[in-house]
């Protein structure tokens, strides 16, 4: 794997990677500075949210590496786009139904989250990514 990573590193866009790393570091620092006092007041560890943020940043880097090795032809296949669209539409429909059946399932007053135990996801964010993929696919066909 390291051999492939070294070979693909020449194609890496450092003008995108460096701001990403800087924003991750600033975001983790802001989470710590905003939550440490509150956590101390409530008797919890002051770095609990900071640690959770670092875990999410680590997962983000793993996904970044995964997407770096992903073949772009997969993202252009109609079956892939239709499958992802179906999953996202089902998740959005689930939220629509859930918000009417269980209004108490709201997180901080928002019913746009699906609770998956230790973390929650917001399908609208995946829908935004799908729109970018779909438009990129459509515009690449116009050439």
The tens-digit pLDDT sequence of the chain (143 residues) is: 677 767 777 877 889 889 999 999 999 999 998 888 877 787 788 888 899 899 999 999 998 888 888 888 888 888 999 999 999 999 998 888 876 666 655 555 666 777 777 777 888 999 999 999 889 888 887 76
- Where does residue 99 rank: exposed (0-12), middle (13-18), buried (19+ CB within 10 A)? middle
Q: Is the domain of 104 the same as that of 141? A: yes
What 8-state DSSP symbol labels residue 110? B
Q: How many CA atoms, within 13 angstroms, populate the side-chain half-sphere of residue 81?
A: 15
Counting the structural domains of the chain, the total is 2
Query: What is the CA 2 to chain-centroid distance, rounded?
Result: 25
Q: Is the domain of 82 the same as that of 132? A: yes
Domain boundary among 46, 70, 94: 70
The residue range of the domain holding 12 is 1-70
φ, ψ (nearest 5 deg) of residue 124 = -65, -30
Q: Is the overall model pTM greater than 0.85, yes or no?
A: no
Q: Is the domain of 37 the same as that of 64? A: yes
């Amino acid at each position: 794997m390291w051999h492939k990573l070294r070979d693909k590193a020449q194609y890496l866009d450092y003008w995108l990677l460096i701001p990403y790393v800087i924003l991750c570091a600033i975001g983790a620092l802001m989470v710590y500075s905003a939550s440490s006092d509150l956590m101390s007041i409530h008797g919890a560890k002051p770095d609990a949210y900071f640690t959770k943020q670092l875990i999410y940043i680590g997962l983000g880097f793993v996904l970044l590496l995964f997407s770096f090795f992903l073949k772009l032809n997969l993202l252009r296949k109609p079956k892939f786009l239709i499958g992802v669209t179906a999953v996202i539409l089902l998740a959005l429909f689930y939220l629509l139904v859930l918000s009417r059946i269980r209004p108490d399932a709201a997180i901080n007053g928002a019913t746009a989250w699906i609770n998956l135990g230790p973390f929650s996801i917001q399908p609208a964010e995946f829908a935004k990514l799908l729109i970018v993929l779909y438009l990129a696919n459509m515009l690449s066909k116009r050439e």
